[in-house]
Amino acid sequence: MSLRLGVPSKGRLMEKTFEWFGERGIRLRRTGSEREYAGAVEGVEGVSLVLLSAGEIPRELAAGRIHLGVTGIDMVREKVPAWQDRITELAPLGFGRADLVIAVPAGWVDVDTLDDLDAVAAAFRKAHGFRLRIATKYHRLVREFLREAGVADYQLVDSQGATEGTVKNLTAEAVADITSTGETLRANHLKVLSDGLVLRSQAMLFLSNEAQWGPEEREILNGLLEKLGLPSGGADAAVRHSGAITKS
């Protein structure tokens, strides 16, 4: 019996995750080649390593196929409907920090707030006959944010890469994207709305409420959390209220 820990399979997120666990006495390591996505855990009993893309981890947590996972807050909240019922945040890891923001052309000197954006969007539709386009890959988060802000006359257009360039390429009038320094936005002559912060994100250790949580799994979890120096209260509450706790 073991807990399945999902970790990003490559890049800086993987390196920083390995480092974070290593500083707490748990060594995560890849076994085999980089193409094999196999790994091992040393320093704690009963935990196995699953290497996945950061985008796959929310889905696997929500499905209960992994017990724990490291990925960005933005990934979980975007990809998992009603995520609070299915996934629990255990610990922020202090890296992978980035903000999801709404940005518009820097030349829109009279547009500084969401209210301004709403007014421009209404005028844009009247002038052009179609809604103002906002390029993003975060459809759920941006739609909910703009709805709460009362912005109505817009359409989201999908962008899976180089989102900041869509305005220059005339495929969107504004963007909603992740940024850590704002440099790329500024390089593309975009500015963040003063109240356009959708979400502050960073890497987080998550627990699946949907996974198998019998007595053995809970014991392993408590041992892992103790090794990591994390309180078990939140995890205990999550698995206690999970329907999966009855599966043994």
> What tens digit of pLDDT does each residue of 144-170 get?
999 999 999 999 999 977 898 999 999
Which pLDDT band, with edges at 50, 70 and 90, does 38 fall under? confident
Domain that holds residue 126: 98-201
Out of 186, 201, 216, a domain closes at: 201
Tokens matching residue 17: 């995750």
In sequence order, the 6+-apart residues with CB closer than 8 A to the CB of 185 are 101, 103, 164, 175, 177, 179, 191, 192
Instruction: Based on the fold, state whether residues 46 and 113 are members of the same structural domain.
Output: no
* Residues 155, 61 share a domain: no
Three-class DSSP category at 25? coil
Residues 207 and 225 in one domain: yes
Express each pLDDT in 178-234 by its tens digit.
999 999 999 999 999 999 999 999 999 999 999 999 999 999 999 999 999 998 776
Residues 92 and 8 both lie in one domain: yes
91, 206: one domain: yes
Quick one: 136 and 195 in the same domain?
yes
Instruction: Give the number of domains in the chain.
Output: 2
Judgement on whether residues 134 and 212 belong to the same structural domain of the protein: no
pLDDT for 243 beyond 60: no
> So what's the pLDDT on residue 234?
66
Query: 33: pLDDT confidence band, cut at 50, 70 and 90?
Result: low
The domain spanning residue 180 has which CATH number?
3.40.190.10
Asked if 103 and 174 sit in the same domain, the reply is yes
Contact 61, 6 (CB under 8 A): yes
Contacts of residue 247, Cβ cutoff 8 Å, sequence gap at least 6: 212, 213, 214
8 plus 75 within the same structural domain = yes
Same domain, 73 and 145: no
Instruction: Please indicate, yes or no, whether residues 79 and 107 belong to a single structural domain of this protein.
Output: no
3-state SS, one letter per residue, for the chain: CCEEEEEECCHHHHHHHHHHHHCCCCEEEEECCCCCCEEEEECCCCEEEEEECCCHHHHHHHHCCCCEEEEEHHHHHHHCCCHHHHEEEEEECCCCCEEEEEEEECCCCCCCCHHHHHHHHHHHHHHHCCCEEEEECCHHHHHHHHHHHCCCCEEEEECCCCHHHCCCCCCCCEEEEEECCCHHHHHCCEEEEEEEEEEEECEEEEEECCCCCCHHHHHHHHHHHHHHCCCCHHHHHHHHCCHHHHCC
| Residue 248 pLDDT class (50, 70, 90 cuts) | very low
Q: Are residues 174 and 111 in the same domain?
A: yes
